[in-house]
Amino acid sequence: MEYTPVRVSTLRGDQKIDFDLYVKLPTKYIHYAREGSQFNKERIIRLKEKKVRKLYIPADQEELYQNYISLNLDNAFSKDSSASVESRAHIAQGMTQASVEEVFEDPGSESAYNHAKEVTKKYTDFLLSNDKALSSIMEIQNTDKDLAHHCTRVASLSVNLAIEIGLSDKKQLELLALGASLHDFGLYDTDLNWQRPTSEMTPEELALYKEHPKKGAESLQDKKHLDQAVITIIMEHEELGNGKGFPQGLQDKKIDRLAKIVGLCNLYDRLVTFEGRSDEEAIKQMAFDSVGSFPLENINALKKILKSL
Minimum distance from CB of 237 to Fe ion (Å)? 6
Candidate ranges 9-17, 85-93, 107-115, 184-192; the one touching Fe ion (CB under 5 A): 184-192
Between vectors from CA 294 to CA 190 and to CA 125, what angle results, nearest 5°?
75
Comparing CA positions, the residue from 61, 72, 74 lying closest to residue 39 is 72
Minimum distance from CB of 209 to Fe ion (Å)? 9
Task: Give every CB contact of residue 278 below 8 A, 6+ residues apart in sequence.
Answer: 272
Minimum distance from CB of 148 to Fe ion (Å)? 11
What is the DSSP track for 198-224? GGGS-HHHHHHHTTHHHHHHHHHHT-T
* Closer by beta carbon to Fe ion, 232 or else 266: 266
Minimum distance from CB of 238 to Fe ion (Å)? 5
Distance (Å, whole) CA 277 – CA 197 = 10
CA distances from 216 to 107, 194, 212 (A): 10, 14, 6
* Closer by beta carbon to Fe ion, 58 or else 247: 247
Minimum distance from CB of 251 to Fe ion (Å)? 19
H/E run at residue 23: strand 21-24
Distance (Å, whole) CA 309 – CA 137 = 10
* Closer by beta carbon to Fe ion, 130 or else 285: 285
* Closer by beta carbon to Fe ion, 41 or else 145: 145
CA distances from 35 to 32, 76, 178 (A): 10, 22, 34
The amino acid sitting at 182 is: L
Phi-psi region of 51 (alpha: psi -120 to 50; beta: other; left: phi over 0): left
Candidate ranges 2-10, 95-103, 132-140, 180-188; the one touching Fe ion (CB under 5 A): 180-188
Candidate ranges 65-73, 227-235, 264-272, 289-297; the one touching Fe ion (CB under 5 A): 264-272
Minimum distance from CB of 266 to Fe ion (Å)? 4
Other Cβ atoms within 10 Å of 65 Cβ, number: 18
Candidate ranges 18-26, 137-145, 177-185, 277-285; the one touching Fe ion (CB under 5 A): 177-185
DSSP β-bridge partners for residue 21: 33
Minimum distance from CB of 267 to Fe ion (Å)? 9
Minimum distance from CB of 212 to Fe ion (Å)? 6
The amino acid sitting at 81 is: S
266 makes contact with Fe ion (CB under 5 A): yes
* Closer by beta carbon to Fe ion, 11 or else 283: 283
15 makes contact with Fe ion (CB under 5 A): no
184 makes contact with Fe ion (CB under 5 A): yes
User: Under rule CB under 5 A, which residues in 145-174 are in contact with Fe ion?
Assistant: none
236 makes contact with Fe ion (CB under 5 A): no
DSSP β-bridge partners for residue 16: 38
Minimum distance from CB of 279 to Fe ion (Å)? 17
Site string for Fe ion, 127-146 (x = CB under 5 A): --------------------
Candidate ranges 34-42, 68-76, 80-88, 263-271; the one touching Fe ion (CB under 5 A): 263-271
5 burial level (CB within 10 Å; 0-12, 13-18, 19+) = exposed
Candidate ranges 68-76, 95-103, 266-274, 275-283; the one touching Fe ion (CB under 5 A): 266-274
Interacting residues with Fe ion (CB under 5 A): 184, 266
